[in-house]
Chains A and B, each alone.
Chain A
Amino acid sequence: MRGRSTGSRAVARIVVAPVGEIPAGGRKLVEAEGKRIVVFNLGGEFYALSDRCPHQGGSLCAGLVSGHVESREPGVYHYARRGEMIRCPWHYWEFDIRTGKSWFDPKRVQVRQFPAQVTTGAALVEGPYVAETFPVKVEDDYVVVDA
């Protein structure tokens, strides 16, 4: 389902899937408004990134999800944030799923991020959205991305 906001913002509100369709640790690729967007579920929080790697365009959705390793000195590995980093399948650049920022140059090299949230079916049915690909049920929750 996708809909267009009636407001002046040229932002499309995309209903990605019912919440239950993207399990924790899962991801889903959606195409809307000419954009490919990958939506991640990190322990119940949803994050949406452009699927296009800023390096040379690899599809992040096809990448490996891993954790973040840091070191305060050689030989010491501090491994944390399992499941929160996505590694592009082409040249393995790492991006923080929560921010879209690359690890090695977070200021200059970032994946475009889109706001993602969970909305009730009731709100969607009432709102200015029209179901296109699947029916929205009042009693369910949905992942919604503004793109």
Chain B
Amino acid sequence: MFSRFRPIDCDLHPMVPGMRALTPYMDEFWRDQVEERGITTLDTQSWPVRSPKTIREDWRSEDGRGAATVGLLQAQSLDRLGTDLGILNPLYGVQLVFNEDMAAAFTRALNDWTRAEWLDRDPRLRASIVLPLQSIEASVAEIERLAPDPRFVQVLVLVMGEMPLGRRQYWPILEACVRHGLPLGIHAGSAYRHPQTSVGWTSYYLEEYAANQQAFQSTLASLLTEGAFSKFPDLRVVLLESGVTWLPSFLWRLQKTWKGVRFEVPWVDRLPTEIVRDQVRLTVQPLDAPEDGAIVQRVMDQLRSDALLLWASDWPHWQYDGDAAMPPGIPESLWPKLMRDNPLATYGRLREGVVA
């Protein structure tokens, strides 16, 4: 379908079928704990399994679940779309666990499951290192443990966690990212440490899904104002399933205000939009724009960068029908950049051993 572009899919979601899939990757203590405590699943309400958005209808298996095996990924996405390389971003509720040690054990199991049951089974696949952000030390240790495997090309956190992600306590993680050439991937979703909106808890899934956009804005503002981008100029941040079209208006407000109060954050010593253009990337599924190409073009002009966007199918989330995996309105002239050049420029580890 898109094979002539040799596309790189930057957001694929293998779904863990249940805790029993992970126990083989735990030590005996945690394996028994899972059984004894009757922990059956860590599915979270950020992606309710039965929600139409979580798994596209025609990609569901008999049991209503999906995305459980590499075979499904190949048949539904990689082979159909002609994907050259794909980045796995496992979303399983390991971030919700409060016990730090359990969180670290479950997260290690999740990453090892991804490696053994996905990466080892298709050479086109790469993955993110899911971080047990409940502990900064454990997060750095997980990066150190997996970074030697070049198939891990990014680290993955949720946009709604314990604290704003720019906070300096987190910097050892950012430092490890930079040291290993791993972008920080920030995906929609919550660890439910706080209400999913700044005005309180949501009542409906619809409210919550839309609220992710606020969280992305606040997270981006946090990374900027705390000085994370200034401290780590080589850090790349990838916003996953963030939507795109909110970015220009948000940056407008941020930058306008910065002009007056920049003395508060003197390390932000150039225009915030320039910093974002240099260090932040966004996946285009969803894009959150009408299908009118002229409108999409206007947003791209406002962003003044065609290097900012990365193609992603978001499999198995239902973002499109059939094989229309590129959001309508994005001109075909940009496809080579979005599908190939920009991912290669963003993910240093993808470039290793790959023909540009």
| Interface residues, chain A, with chain B CB atoms under 8 Å away | 66, 69-71, 73-78, 91-94, 103-105
* Chain B residues touching A, range: 10 to 19
- Tell me whether A77 and B227 are in contact in the complex, defined as CB-CB below 8 angstroms, given that A91-B260, A92-B260 are known contacts: no
A76 CA to B266 CA, complexed, in Å: 9
> Hey, which chain A residues are within 8 Å of B263, CB to CB?
66, 69, 94
Partner pick for B271 among A70, A73, A104, CB 8 A cutoff = A104
A23 CB to closest chain B CB (Å) equals: 25
Q: Are A74 and B262 in contact (CB under 8 A)?
A: no
The answer to whether B260 touches A69 (Cβ under 8 A) is no
Q: How far is the CB of B165 from chain A (nearest CB, A)?
A: 14
Check if B226 is an interface residue, CB within 8 A of chain A: yes
Binding site for A on B (CB under 8 A): 168, 226-228, 230-231, 258-263, 266-267, 269, 271
Q: Which of A66, A74, A93, A94 contacts B267 (CB 8 A)?
A: A74
Pair A91/B266 contact, Cβ less than 8 Å = no
Is B227 a contact partner of A93 (Cβ separation < 8 A)?
Answer: no
With A71-B269, A73-B267 as contacts: A104 and B227 at CB distance below 8 Å: no
| Top 5 A-B pairs, shortest CB-CB distance | A74-B227, A92-B260, A71-B266, A71-B267, A74-B267
Q: Which B-chain residue is minimally distant from A94 (CB atoms)?
A: B263
Asked if A74 contacts B168 (CB within 8 A), the reply is yes
**Do B271 and A77 have beta carbons less than 8 Å apart?**
no
CA gap between A91 and B227 in the complex, in Å? 23
B266 with A73: CB separation less than 8 A: no
Contacts of A92 in B (CB 8 A): 259-261
Query: In the bound complex, do residue A74 and residue B226 qualify as a contact, i.e. CB atoms below 8 Å apart?
Result: yes
What are 25 A-B contacts defined by CB distance under 8 Å? A69-B263, A70-B266, A70-B269, A71-B227, A71-B230, A71-B267, A71-B269, A73-B230, A74-B168, A74-B227, A74-B231, A74-B267, A75-B168, A75-B227, A75-B267, A76-B267, A77-B266, A91-B259, A92-B261, A93-B260, A94-B262, A94-B263, A104-B259, A104-B271, A105-B271
Q: Is the interface of B mostly helix, strand, loop or mixed?
A: helix
Instruction: Report Cα–Cα, A40/B74, bound state, in Å.
Output: 71
CB distance from B167 to the nearest CB of A (A): 11
Q: What distance in Å separates the Cβ of B1 from its nearest Cβ neighbour in chain A? A: 45
Distance A78 CA – B263 CA, assembled complex (angstroms): 11
Neighbouring A residues of B260 by C-beta, 8 Å: 91-93
Q: Which of A73, A76, A77, A104 touches B262 (beta carbons < 8 Å)?
A: A104
Most chain-B CB neighbours within 10 Å: which of A66, A74, A75, A103?
Answer: A74
Q: Does A73 lie within 8 Å of B259, measured CB to CB?
A: no
CA distance A66 to B260 in the complex (A): 13
Bound Cα distance from A71 to B266, whole angstroms: 5
**CB-defined contacts of B227 to chain A, threshold 8 Å:** 71, 73-75
Give A75 to B268 CA distance when docked, in angstroms: 11
A93 to B263, CA, bound (A): 10
Q: Contact between B269 and A73 (Cβ–Cβ < 8 Å)? A: no
Known contacts A70-B269, A74-B168; is-contact A103 B231 (Cβ 8 Å)? no
A71 CA / B258 CA spacing, docked (Å)? 15
How distant is the Cα of A66 from the Cα of B226 in the complex, in angstroms? 23
CA distance A66 to B263 in the complex (A): 10
Q: Which residues of B contact A77 (CB under 8 A)?
A: 266
Residue of B nearest to A77 (CB): B266
Contacts of A66 in B (CB 8 A): 263
Taking A70-B266, A94-B262 as known contacts, 19 extra A-B pairs with beta carbons closer than 8 A to each other, sorted by chain A number, are A69-B266, A70-B269, A71-B227, A71-B266, A73-B227, A73-B267, A74-B227, A74-B228, A74-B230, A75-B168, A75-B267, A76-B267, A77-B266, A91-B259, A91-B260, A92-B259, A93-B259, A93-B260, A104-B271
Nearest to B225 among chain A residues (CB) is A74
Contacts of B230 in A (CB 8 A): 71, 73-74
With most chain B CB atoms within 10 A of its CB, the pick from A78, A93, A104, A105 is A104
Closest A-chain residue to B266, C-beta based? A71
Task: Report the Cα distance A71→B228, complex, angstroms.
Answer: 13
Minimum CB–CB distance for B266 against chain A, Å = 4
What's the Cα separation between A12 and B266 when bound, in Å? 40
List, in ascending order, chain B residues with CB within 8 A of A76's CB: 267
Q: CA A92 – CA B256 in complex, angstroms? A: 11
Closest to B261 in A: A92
Please name all residues of chain A whose beta carbon is closer than 8 Å to the beta carbon of B262 when the two chains form the complex: 94, 103-104
